[in-house]
Amino acid sequence: MNFIPIAPTNMNGEFDDTLIEWVGRICAKSAALAGSHNGAVLNEVRELLRIINSYYSNLIESDGTHPSNIEKAMKQEFSKDEKNNKLQKLSVAHIHVQRLIENDLVDNSVFDSDFIRFVHREMYSQDGMEQYLNIFDKDTSETVQMIPGEFRTHDVAVGKYNAPAFGEVNGLMSQYAHLYGLEFRKELTAKKLIYALASHHRLVWIHPFLDGNGRVSRLVLDGAISSCGISGYGLWNISRGLARSVEAYKENLRHADMPRQGQYDGKGDLSAGALRSYVEYMLTVAEDQIDYMSSLLKMDGLTTRLENYVAFANKRMLGIEELPKGSAQIFKHLLIHGESQRGSMAQVIGAGERTTTKVVQELLKREFLSTPSPKGPIHLRFPSHMASYVFPDLMPVLSINETIPAKRKAGRPRKADI
């Protein structure tokens, strides 16, 4: 059995206009997102979303730990709790591979077997990942050792789905690389996105590894979408949307496994109509995530939420220590202007040089600001605690018990207040 068709085309191998127009709208919205703020702010949003992407991709597999814990792990601050420690290391490995994909991806290589094996090997060779390599085989009641980056040498079943026999994996992966690579080399951005989304199901269907196929296939999908040339990807990511509708995601993947239903349902072994339904679901998720991030990054609303965050923090309502006087003005200035010299902050907050230096140093120490050097310019950061309030619903809001204890009891603002 093969995985043809590779995209939801008609019997002549063409996409209908409705699908192309939809993808064009998505590409335009994503490009607008890329121009919504200065480069320094957008880079910090991308940095935050790497953590968010890791959180949601792992959550799909029921293995999520809060972004604040991931943030700590990125600084080598690991939990003493065994389960949380394990999940932190999983997220660190995910982010490591995500950066490699972003920095080292060569055009059209994303579908190659070597690249996909590289993603799996890098993911499961990181420190602490050895605990994920012992795979229990329910059929034989034996534990099988998974080798990072190696295609499986056992037959596997996922629920009711029996993946292709392990002896077919190499051939299927070669076909996968050839067919999707060929379309990527000749098509424009809009059609590339359709192929990228369709390829995600086909990679999951092949199930090339003994374990880790879900995480790896979503990392490969990130690489494929980035390779499409869509401006703005990284300021939104698809894993959050998939995690928020995880049952629909899994059901659409299962539905796309459907065999061909009659002579008008494509030309391969699998159903073209079912693949079309799956791609439409993925496009809906993508557009929803772009619309969501676009609404969050609107200047007026983001400015207000930053100001409210400082105000509530200084009323001891968020479970953190008070922020220094002038914080709101600095945050607003950096949000608008991006990277700025430290000396200019004195005028922004209306204070002397010594006072301004203390304020900036405290905000740097608490990681609300960042700088490339001890005396270099500063720019705004979005640490997870702040982000959970100023970007509503991007991640779960930390409860007061999970943050720094307040000195006195206080109420907690409603989400609408932030």
Q: With the C-alpha atoms ordered 362, 411, 383, 305, is the resulting torsion angle positive or negative?
A: negative
Residue (of 166, 203, 228) closest to 6 by Cα position: 203
Long-range (24+ apart) CB contacts under 8 A made by 376-379 are: 377/339, 377/340, 377/341, 377/342, 378/334, 378/339, 378/340, 378/341, 378/342, 378/345, 379/40, 379/41, 379/44, 379/334, 379/338, 379/339, 379/340
- Can you give the residue range of the structural domain that contains 110? 17-296
Closest to 203 in 3D by CA, of 249, 257, 255, 258: 257
- Give yes or no: residues 291 and 306 share one domain: no
Residue 64 banded pLDDT, cuts 50, 70, 90? confident
CB atoms within 10 A of CB 320: 20
| Token digits of residue 309 | 């965050």
Residues 158, 176 share a domain: yes
Q: Which pLDDT score is estimated for 211? A: 95
Task: Tell me the helix, strand and coil percentages in the chain, rounded to 5.
Answer: 60, 5, 35
> Which CATH number characterizes residue 373's domain?
1.10.10.10
Q: Is residue 12 part of a domain?
A: no
273 and 303 housed in the same domain: no
- Quickly state the pLDDT bin for 203 (edges 50, 70, 90): very high
The C-alpha atoms of residue 386 and residue 391 are separated, in whole angstroms, by 8
Phi/psi for 158 (5° steps) reads -120, 100
Spatial distance between the Cα atoms of 375 and 275, rounded to a whole number of angstroms: 55
CB 30 within 8 A of CB 287: no
pLDDT at 370: 97
**Tens of pLDDT along 319-345?**
999 999 999 999 999 999 999 999 999
* 270, β-bridge pairs: 259
- Co-location of 190 and 329 in the same domain: no
Residue 26 lies in a domain: yes
Q: What is the secondary structure of 71-84 as a DSSP string?
A: HHHHTT---SSHHH
Does 273 lie in the same domain as 331?
no
Does the residue 11 lie in any domain?
no
Q: Do 26 and 172 reside in the same domain of the chain?
A: yes
Determine, yes or no, domain membership for 2: no
Q: Kindly state whether residue 3 falls inside one of the protein's structural domains.
A: no
* pLDDT for the residue numbered 404: 42
For 32-46, what is the mean pLDDT?
A: 96
345 and 252, same domain (yes or no)? no
Instruction: Say what the pLDDT of residue 62 is.
Output: 80
pLDDT, position 414 = 40
Same domain, 288 and 361: no
What type of residue is 180? Answer: Y
Residue type, 108: N
Residues 288 and 304 occupy one common structural domain: no
Query: 363 and 246 in one domain?
Result: no
- Tell me: pLDDT of 410 over 50: no
Confirm whether 201 is domain-assigned: yes
For residue 104, what pLDDT band results from cuts at 50, 70 and 90?
A: confident
Q: Is residue 367 part of a domain?
A: yes
Residue 409 has pLDDT above 80, yes or no: no
The CA distance from 61 to 57, in Å, is: 7
Domain-embedded: residue 8 = no
In a shared domain, residues 277 and 312: no
Q: Per-residue confidence at 379, pLDDT binned at 50, 70, 90?
A: very high
Burial 107-136 (b: 16+ CB within 10 A, else e): ebbbbbbebbbbbbbbbbbbeebeebbebe
As for how many domains the chain has, the answer is 2
Q: pLDDT tens, 82-99?
A: 999 999 999 999 999 999
CATH number at residue 227: 1.10.3290.10
pLDDT tens-digit map of 161-196: 899 999 999 999 999 999 999 999 888 889 999 999
Q: Which of 264, 296, 328 is the last residue of a domain?
A: 296
Q: What is the pLDDT of residue 399?
A: 57
pLDDT of the residue at 171:
98
Question: According to the model, what pLDDT value does residue 160 have?
Answer: 81
Q: Are residues 36 and 113 in the same domain?
A: yes
Last residue of a domain, one of 296, 322, 342: 296
Q: Which of 296, 328, 350 is the last residue of a domain?
A: 296
